[in-house]
Amino acid sequence: MAKQLPDLKFSQLINISFGFFGVQIAYALQSANISRIFATLGADPHSLSFFWLLPPIMGMIVQPLVGKYSDRTWTRYGRRIPYLFIGAIVAILVMCFLPNAGSLGLSVGQAMVFGAVMLMLLDTSINMAMQPFKMMVGDMVNEKQKTTAYSIQSFLCNAGSVVGFLFPFLFATFGISGTAPTGVVPDTVKYAFYIGAAILIICVIYTSVMVKEYPPQEYNEYHPVDPKEHEDEPGMLELLKKAPSTFWTVGLVQFFCWAAFMYMWTYTNGTVAHGAFDAPTKLTEAGAVVLDTASQQYQDAGNWVGILFAVQAIGSVFWATIIPRFKSNKVAYTVSLIMGGIGFISTYFIHSQYGLFASFLLIGAAWAAMLALPFTIFTNSLKGGHVGTYLGLFNCTICVPQIVAAAIGGLILKVFFTTPGVLAPEVDMLVLAGTLLLLGSAAVWLIKDHD
């Protein structure tokens, strides 16, 4: 019979997840600024979504592998921490290169390719650094303290998001230039990535030094492993076949939700620049009407998007305290997604930069539910071993919808919403995102869980 994991001090619970704060700053900078960076480099709105294909593809590959191999890794530095540290180091290097894609004397096409490669490496490394935090809680925290441990992780996640989202706006407030020559990323964004990289390495070093994972013999006392378990270990496809039905029903809800947020990350910048900041337009050599990304209005809008995403994170923190008061996970999930759907659709009607706060507070409610409830419902259905592998596979329910949404986003914008010679109405994609969340709220009732 397995020994019970000991109670940990509150400070130990914080130490386990502290590095997540730095990782989430990197993720927030990526989420809020990638469309802005590639638009600045010269990408057309119809092609923006293709750049967003890379992050979920890499996540779908990396997270299951990190889960699988870290389940079987033992080093003098720990079980999960080596993956965390390697991922963080790569992320730091990439964060210093990515915002300089337009400053290296490359042609527009070369800068796009360079930026795409850097984005691929950034998301790969962020995924590699993020997964170990979830697993260390499972390895080291007993059932009684897991709620507290994941609450700490959720708080650090949202706190890191707020900091990352606010950086460009704060640097502009301090007088750092928010504009740059055509094709060059402004200094506000560059400095945000530099400072974010510095915070990331400090946080990861802190966790790596302060957390001592259980050595193999002690670990096996808490998590007994059959020596024959890995001899006949099923492959990932076999595990998928044996996955509980909750994997697939929650995955359907995840499809609608993460497709919606993919469109938020891709099209919010253009929506806010046009609708709330009246950014000027220009004609490309191909004759397309696009926003002038070198204009002060466009870059001010880019900074303001960081503020809106921070408002979303604050709304998420608040709503996360409300979710546990619902007696039913399904009701909480449904209400949260409906609120987010209303928030997205309202952006079509609101043209005030401050009025958009209301929209993103509502979107934050959906985000809070997406972070907490799918994980809770799915892990409650897991029994036996291969937890790390299953958590990695479950990440595919996040990645696949983003890949699909990114692959067809430009086509939807072009075929259904755009009149030739007119600026592409990116706000319509946010309305579509709201519709997807409403569909997701209906799909919640296909989930069979035990509330």
- pLDDT digits over 367-395, tens only? 989 987 887 777 666 665 565 666 667 77
* Eight-class DSSP state of 223: S
Q: For residue 57, is pLDDT > 90?
A: no
Q: For residue 73, is pLDDT > 60?
A: yes
Task: Tokens for 331, please give them.
Answer: 């009701």
Domains and CATH numbers, the chain: 12-224+235-446 (1.20.1250.20)
The pLDDT of residue 328 = 86
User: Which residue in the block uniquely carries the two structure tokens 């995102």?
Assistant: 433
* C-alpha to C-alpha distance for 270 and 121, rounded to whole angstroms: 25
* C-alpha to C-alpha distance for 435 and 257, rounded to whole angstroms: 10
The pLDDT of residue 75 = 80
Tell me the percentage of the chain whose pLDDT exceeds 70. Answer: 91
The pLDDT of residue 451 = 43
Per-residue pLDDT, averaged over 44-68, amounts to 79
Least confident of 132-136, 273-277, 339-343: 132-136
Q: For residue 348, is pLDDT > 50?
A: yes
Within 8 A by CB and 6+ apart from 389, the residues are: 64, 67, 68, 71, 236, 239
Q: Phi/psi at 283 (nearest 5 deg)?
A: -95, 135
- β-bridge partners, 290: 282
The pLDDT of residue 58 = 79
Q: Which of 168-182, 259-273, 371-385, 406-420 has the highest mean pLDDT?
A: 259-273
The chain-wide mean pLDDT, for the chain, equals: 86
Tell me the percentage of the chain whose pLDDT exceeds 90. Answer: 44
- Secondary-structure percent of the chain, ordered helix, strand, coil, rounded to 5: 75, 0, 25
The pLDDT of residue 386 = 60
Q: Classify residue 159 as exposed, middle or buried by CB count within 10 Å of its CB (0-12, 13-18, 19+).
A: middle
Query: Can you list the alpha helix ranges (DSSP code H) found in 141-186?
Result: 143-173
Least confident of 188-192, 216-220, 312-316: 216-220
* C-alpha to C-alpha distance for 264 and 79, rounded to whole angstroms: 36
Report which of residues 69 and 235 the model is more confident about: 69
* C-alpha to C-alpha distance for 196 and 189, rounded to whole angstroms: 10
Task: Tokens for 233, please give them.
Answer: 């270990």
* C-alpha to C-alpha distance for 343 and 340, rounded to whole angstroms: 5
Q: For residue 233, is pLDDT > 70?
A: no
Q: For residue 277, is pLDDT > 70?
A: yes
The pLDDT of residue 283 = 86
Contact (Cβ atoms closer than 8 angstroms) between residue 376 and residue 333:
no
Report which of residues 67 and 319 the model is more confident about: 319
Least confident of 6-10, 181-185, 234-238, 419-423: 234-238
The pLDDT of residue 206 = 94
| pLDDT band at residue 129 under the 50/70/90 scheme | confident
Torsion of CA 66, 71, 72, 78, to 10 degrees: 90
Q: Is the dihedral of CA 168, 173, 174, 175 positive or negative?
A: positive
* C-alpha to C-alpha distance for 362 and 365, rounded to whole angstroms: 5
**Ramachandran region, residue 175 (left: φ > 0; alpha: ψ -120 to 50; beta: rest):** left
Per-residue pLDDT, averaged over 42-49, amounts to 81
Report which of residues 188 and 48 the model is more confident about: 188
The pLDDT of residue 145 = 84
Q: For residue 225, is pLDDT > 80?
A: no
